[in-house]
């Protein structure tokens, strides 16, 4: 379906059970998968987005923080079961976990805190770098195996800056035709950490942590990735996400396996 023909479905939203509000089901359709045609796999960022959506829906509170441990891969058309469980509940914050499994095999484990309160004294100490708006940036075609019906075809990227010497990348990102960024979308977009340095391309994420600062309405998200270093065959680093108005959206961090040489 062409962009002009109307909005596409939000492909990471799982179906909540009518019998148990803490149980969900998610099918890894092609729109949620990446990779070569004969080896389509569910992207970790999509599974994290599904877990975050399940947590917010079951708990009924907004996400404050979530960390995902990618335990196993899932392939095209896999049926994923999601179970949400509370660990602790206070007056303002609930701590909970979401487990994603395929036929009893662990795919993803998400630990999270949800809730908080209205804070009129909220402050932002980290400012967005001075960058041109998305419309003035060149389109990036660095996602391999991109086509209209898979995940890569749903992600639009506009390159701002990339430097292997400083291990820094800045890129505008959006998920086409799915509305403004929320906690689940930001979790998905933050999983493009690997690839910020050419040595990491083709690697595999081990984890992803997202801390929510603010959720203003924004279509494009600026990912500012800074690799901390490579050690023991893995890459460590941080990623900051900003809205088009300069608002800090999230602070994220990740560790990923470097691809073999």
Q: Residues 21-67: pLDDT tens digits?
A: 999 999 999 999 988 888 899 999 999 999 999 999 999 999 999 99
The answer as to whether 120 is a domain residue is: no
pLDDT at residue 146 greater than cutoff 50: yes
- The total of structural domains in the chain comes to 2
Q: Are residues 104 and 158 in the same domain?
A: no
CATH of residue 215: 2.40.160.210
Looking at the structure, do residues 88 and 144 belong to the same domain, yes or no?
A: no
- Is 169 found in the same domain as 76? no
Do 69 and 8 belong together in one domain? yes
Q: Report, in this order, helix, strand and coil percent for the chain, each rounded to 5.
A: 15, 40, 45
Structural domain includes residue 129: no
Q: Are residues 142 and 249 in the same domain?
A: yes
Q: Can you say how many angstroms the Cα of residue 93 is from the centroid of all Cα atoms in its chain?
A: 22
Task: Count the Cβ atoms, other than its own, within 10 Å of residue 251.
Answer: 17
- pLDDT confidence of residue 6: 40
Q: Which pLDDT does position 163 carry in this prediction?
A: 97
Integer-rounded Cα radius of gyration of the chain: 18
pLDDT at position 37: 85
Residue 161 has pLDDT above 60, yes or no: yes
Asked whether residue 123 is assigned to any structural domain, the reply reads no
Q: Tell me the pLDDT tens digit for each residue of 241-250.
A: 999 999 999 9
The domain in which residue 98 lies consists of: 3-115
Mean pLDDT for all residues in the chain: 92
Q: Same structural domain for residues 29 and 75?
A: yes
d(CA 245, CA 57): 28
Clarify whether residues 105 and 143 are in a common domain: no
């Amino acid at each position: 379906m062409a962009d002009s023909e109307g909005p596409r479905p939000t492909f990471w939203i799982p179906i909540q059970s009518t019998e148990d509000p803490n149980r969900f089901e998610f099918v890894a359709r092609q729109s949620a998968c990446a990779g070569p045609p004969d080896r389509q796999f569910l992207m970790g960022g999509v599974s994290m987005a599904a877990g975050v959506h399940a947590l917010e829906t079951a708990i009924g509170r907004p996400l404050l923080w979530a960390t995902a441990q990618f335990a196993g891969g899932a392939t095209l058309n896999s049926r994923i079961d999601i179970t949400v469980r509370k660990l602790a509940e206070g007056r303002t914050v609930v701590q909970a976990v979401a487990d994603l499994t395929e036929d009893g095999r662990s795919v993803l484990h998400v630990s999270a805190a949800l809730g908080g309160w209205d804070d009129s004294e909220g402050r932002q100490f980290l400012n967005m770098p001075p960058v041109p708006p998305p419309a003035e940036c060149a389109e990036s075609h660095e996602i391999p195996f991109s086509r209209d019906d898979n995940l890569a075809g749903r992600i639009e990227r506009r390159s701002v800056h990339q430097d292997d010497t400083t291990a820094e990348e800045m890129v505008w990102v959006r998920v086409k035709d799915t509305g403004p960024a929320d906690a689940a979308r930001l979790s998905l977009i933050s999983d493009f950490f690997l690839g910020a340095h050419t040595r990491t391309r083709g690697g595999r994420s081990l984890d992803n942590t997202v801390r929510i600062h603010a959720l203003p309405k924004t279509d494009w998200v600026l990912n500012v990735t800074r690799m901390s270093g490579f050690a023991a065959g893995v890459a460590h680093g941080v990623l900051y996400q900003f809205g088009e108005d300069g608002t800090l959206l999230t602070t994220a961090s990740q560790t990923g396996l470097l691809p073999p040489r």
